[in-house]
Chain A
Amino acid sequence: MAGSPAYAVDLTAMIAATMLPFVSFLTILIATRGRPRLSAGLSIGSVTISLACSIALLALHFHLAAPIEFSTRLLASGGLDIPFGFLLDRLNLLMIAIVSAICFLVQVYSLGYMAGDPGFSRYYGFMSLFTWAMMSLALSASLLQLYFFWELVGLSSYLLIGFWYEKFSATQAGKKAFVMTRAGDAAFFIGLLLLFVHTGDLSIAHLDSRSALSGVSPSFLTLSALLIFGGIVGKSAQFPLMTWLPDAMEGPTPVSALLHSATMVAAGVYLFARLFPFFSMSSVAMTVFLAIGTISMLLASTMAIVSRDIKKVWAYSTISQLGFMIMALGAGGYFAGVFHLTTHAGFKALLFLCSGVFIHRYETNDIYELSRFGARRMVIPTVSIVLGAAALSGLPPLSGYFSKEAIMGSLAAMHNPLWLAAGLAGVFLTAYYSFRVIFILLFPRAEGAASPPPQEAGITAGGHAAHESGYRAMAWPLIILSAVSVIFGFFKTSFKDFIGGGAAAGGAAGMEPSWLHIAPLALALAGVGLAWVEFGRKGAKQIGFVDRMPVLSRLFAERWYIDRFYGLVVEFVIDRGISRLCSQNDRKVIDGSIDGICEGTVESGWVVAFLQTGMIQYRLLAILGVLALLLLCFYF
């Protein structure tokens, strides 16, 4: 198929979109570390080309009928044939567009945010690494290739979270993120190998065709689906591997916006969507996924209610929204899940970037402090953050409203009304916690008088100027993303056509009862209202209802003690338990016995040597004795 010119164009575009960031990554790390401006230029240049290629591909193949696959054999070793290539269908056309667009915006934004950081070049190097890995992940033709880049995405996440490596908490968070996602990935890897061993082919197109797996036993299918889902749980920070994501907020804010909200964590959901036909072959697995999505969504929402750290609120909200997506997909709502993925990428990136502006300016993450410092005076971010929060809460006419509605639609199609109830509760909580933040930010309740913008004196003139120019670089992405959040929802229908045509399995959608249009909206409004009562209105004490219940608030603040539990497991079971046991065994038993044998040999040497020092006649006796013994042997 490589002959026709159209394919050649596609291939070139895809290679350019994926490989250029890699080239820039290598160049930055090897050659241009000492020149921050050049590095940033390289990185942004490459991501611009990626974006252009992605959009070109999207435009070219907007009415793509059948997936296009390019593959070459990367590795063939007896009995094992690992193809490597590109798969192009509507889903990943969409994905690469989202990824490259947000990468582009965030990298531009970072010009301002990261200005003056000593690791500026390194930052852009890692950003390029991420872009490469994420774009390649989206375009992967086989599950193994996807895993390959899946891990690399994890690597860039590790490096970027721990970017400020002199901060202990940052490095700790990076390590935690890597290890926890790795735990999920181990399951993914096992599932992948299992699948390979039984089917002999990991090509995504192959796995998604029902005919290919018809001969495989259902229980096996369920098992491998569950294992692969383990990877999704890790990457998308679902229950029970959810706690790394809030910690990951230790990284620079643009990183949180890019990796830990819009794209990388969405890779899990993307994988779900990618293998949707495969997963949907096992109804048991789908139910499990649905349950996990629901649990994560609710738990994370409760955590978000009590957090004072603005980034952490958005982080919890990310988990919760990802939970929504998983729920949607688990309920068979392919379109709803992917649609929410898209809209969420936009408004969540927006939220983070806005918060980043505040944090960059006031150097604190605490909502109350930000509010007291007068964050609301920065107009563009404030407007944008309100828009973003509204989109997150699912208020019309913003994009979030449409995608939430779609999700509720697919949940409603389930037999068990419990899922829908949980979803609706989630909608309420989402609206509540997002507007809690907004109202706190908008209506400062200073203990004293309105405090002046702080630290004005502390910032030198040059630094201030840098902030100002940086502010402009940071503002544009906000405006673009806000616009997207506002407009995108109206393209629901065409989006549905685009996506729905792309996937073979549409899932259940359609017969939605009319009250479904109203219920989510009503609940979202109720959430906003409660937030208004507690935080917004004049005289409100800005104490949430949960805060009045110490037990509950403690439980939520401690993240339901999940983290504590893992800490204990790692410390007591692994570190002080098995690992210590093994070390002791190594030193005492194995080394001990070897050393013991050696010492015994030397000791016996002393004995033997001592026997040689006696009187001469003992030796004569020994000669006689041994001869006599040997002769005796003869008679036996």
Chain B
Amino acid sequence: MNWITEGPEIFYFGASLWFLLLTFAAPQKPVSNGGRRREYLSAILLASVGILVCLASVRAEGWLFIRAYSVDLFSQVFKTLLSLGLFLIVSLCGSISDIDERRHNEFYFLLFSCTLALMLLVSADHLLSIYLSLELSSYSLYILVALRKRRALGLEAGIKYFLTGSFAAAVMLFGMALLYSSCGTAYLPDMAKVLPGLISRPTVIMGLLFTLGGFFFKLAVFPFHSWAPDAYQGASNQVAGYIATASKVAAIAVVLRVLASAGHGSAYLVHVLVILSVVSMTLGNLAAIVQKDLKRLLAFSTTAHSGYVLIALLVLDPAGYSAAIFYALALLVMKFTVFMVIVELAPDGRNLQIEELAGLHKRSPIMALALLVALFSLAGIPPTVGFTGKFLIFTAAIQKGYVALVIIAMINVVISLYYYLLVIKAAYLLEPAEALPPLLVSFPKKLLAGFSIVGIVVAGFFPYWLIQIANAAVLPLFGGR
């Protein structure tokens, strides 16, 4: 067996082990600033090495655990995205003041182990491995959410997240049981062979629906989205950023994998997905309009974006899947950029209200610009990566004849633009009640912001290379092997 095949998993397992050991070694009394700095540096070092490891293993292929775990281009691309997401989020943790100093090692441990779980998830090819990695990542996240220093918020968010999550997991598990017993197998590739013949059976439909429910929970699709606003609002900014980026990417991957194996031939399933997609985006966008808390707004917009992603998934063909992969990348970059601005603006880790953005254009032009570009990208305005992602999704959908669906989605884009513009207005138009000092942004952060801006625009304007990767990544799902 080639070690490089499992390189990322092993690496992240080692990294989380390292932080686990550190928790035992950590002193009980509050550490000095230097201590915090050291943990941060080691985390960022590990995260950046992790990217390299993932990149090194991107061409790897193989199986593990009697094919319950497959390594292919699809999973490796997503792993690279996940490692990138982790790195970006860790880079925001330089001055993480919303987590108890004594808990920093635990924090990094959970972050890395969650990433590990998500990596396992994107490779999982068997219902059991999917279930296990999903649960592993969820439990890490429950605790990460509850870990916030502002306990009242963190705990409440943790409870809500946990209860909704376990409930959804139970539903999913029941669905898996039904699927398993109907198909006689729990391997996704094997199920793909049997399912089209069984798709009209009530138990299969029920099983599929319930199973997808668990993934939709991760993706925050209606009606499993209700945790998202609370979790985003209650979690510390970095953790919310992590949920919004890495966790979403993995969720897209797993839904993709399951649908690719199971989805063909059922008009009913497509209808369900259409309904969920339309309701998700409409509901998410409508609710986001009236939010005052920036993170809560982003949570609702996440639900809306999941609606767009569902469009890509429900066309059930390679074009749609590759569009979904592209969109996952787009979401990662865009959401990260917004959270970066939030973290910069709230150094004490408080929740940022929209009106607190007032005067941002003066306090830090580059952050304001990053926010502007990221929000326009989220709204799907060219030439940004968000637009290109939507464009790919819509081309895939219209090629299958879903013109009305695309028009509804575009109307939703218009609605979403309204609240993004409200945020932009706050950043560029409103002046703070009392003059605020300029924001001191460290050079690396400026560099990061610059990279994000350039990345969003360049990936939107010159997307061909990324599209090719996404197309290639889809191939393994369609008998590429």
Contacts and interface: CB of A to CB of B under 8 A. Distances in A.
Q: Do chains A and B touch in the complex (CB under 8 A)?
A: yes
A626 B272 contact: no
Interface-centre pick from A606, A609, A631, A633 (highest chain B CB count, 10 A): A609
Interface stretch (B9-17, B140-148, B288-296, B363-371): B288-296
A219 interface: no
B168 interface: yes
B209 interface: yes
A594 to B, nearest CB: 12
16 contacts: A601-B286, A601-B415, A605-B287, A606-B290, A608-B287, A609-B286, A612-B229, A619-B164, A619-B223, A623-B168, A623-B171, A623-B224, A626-B222, A627-B210, A631-B209, A633-B272
Contacts of A604: 286
B212 to A, nearest CB: 10
A608 B225 CA distance: 13
B437 interface: no
A108 to B, nearest CB: 63
Contacts of A608: 283, 286-287
Given A616-B163, A616-B164, A623-B167, A634 B202 contact: yes
B160 interface: yes
B163 A630 contact: no
Contacts of A631: 202, 205-206, 209
A630 B272 CA distance: 7
Interface residues of B, number: 33
B159 interface: yes
Contacts of B288: 605
A609 B205 CA distance: 31
Nearest to B164: A619
A614 to B, nearest CB: 9
A396 B61 CA distance: 119
Interface-centre pick from B213, B286, B300 (highest chain A CB count, 10 A): B286
A620 interface: yes
A605 B290 contact: yes
A616 B157 CA distance: 11
Contacts of B167: 620, 623
Contacts, number: 68
Interface-centre pick from A612, A626, A627 (highest chain B CB count, 10 A): A612
B159 A616 contact: yes
A627 B217 CA distance: 13
Nearest to B206: A631
A612 B209 CA distance: 23
Given A608-B286, A623-B224, 8 more contacts: A605-B288, A606-B290, A609-B287, A616-B163, A623-B171, A625-B223, A631-B206, A631-B209
A634 B160 contact: no
B102 to A, nearest CB: 30
A602 B205 contact: no
Top 8 nearest A-B pairs (CB, nearest first) are A605-B289, A619-B226, A626-B223, A609-B287, A605-B286, A608-B287, A605-B290, A608-B286
B458 interface: no
A612 B287 contact: yes
A549 interface: no
Interface residues of A, number: 22
A37 to B, nearest CB: 56
Interface string B265-297: 000100110010000000100111111000000
A616 B160 contact: yes
A612 B202 contact: no
Interface string B288-312: 1111000000001000000000000
A422 to B, nearest CB: 69
Contact of A623 (B223, B268, B415): B223
Interface string B134-165: 00000000000000000000000001100110
Contacts of B168: 623
A605 B268 CA distance: 30
Contacts of A598: 418
Interface in A571-625: 598, 601-602, 604-606, 608-609, 612, 616, 619-620, 622-623, 625
Contacts of B224: 623
Contact of A622 (B202, B226, B275, B286): B226
Nearest to B217: A623
Contacts of B275: 630
A212 B128 CA distance: 93
A627 B209 contact: yes
Contacts of B271: 633
Interface string B243-277: 00000000000000000000000001001100100
B277 to A, nearest CB: 13
A623 B275 CA distance: 14
Interface string B181-212: 00000000000000000000010011001100
B423 to A, nearest CB: 15
A602 B171 contact: no
Nearest to B414: A601
B223 A622 contact: yes
Contact of A634 (B163, B268, B286): B268
Contacts of B226: 612, 619, 622
Nearest to B226: A619
B199 to A, nearest CB: 11
Interface in B206-237: 206, 209-210, 213, 222-224, 226-227, 229
Contacts of A635: 202
B301 to A, nearest CB: 12
Contacts of A602: 289-290
Contacts of A627: 171, 209-210, 213, 223
Nearest to B415: A601
Contact of B213 (A601, A622, A623, A625): A623
Nearest to A611: B287
A635 B224 CA distance: 23
A545 B364 CA distance: 88
A243 B289 CA distance: 60
A602 B287 CA distance: 9
Interface-centre pick from A619, A622, A631 (highest chain B CB count, 10 A): A619
A606 B415 CA distance: 14
B376 to A, nearest CB: 20
B409 to A, nearest CB: 16
Nearest to B216: A623
A356 B178 CA distance: 107
B164 A620 contact: yes
A633 B206 CA distance: 12
B291 A609 contact: yes
Nearest to B230: A612
B207 to A, nearest CB: 11
Contacts of A616: 159-160, 163-164
Contacts of B227: 619
A539 to B, nearest CB: 84
B279 to A, nearest CB: 9
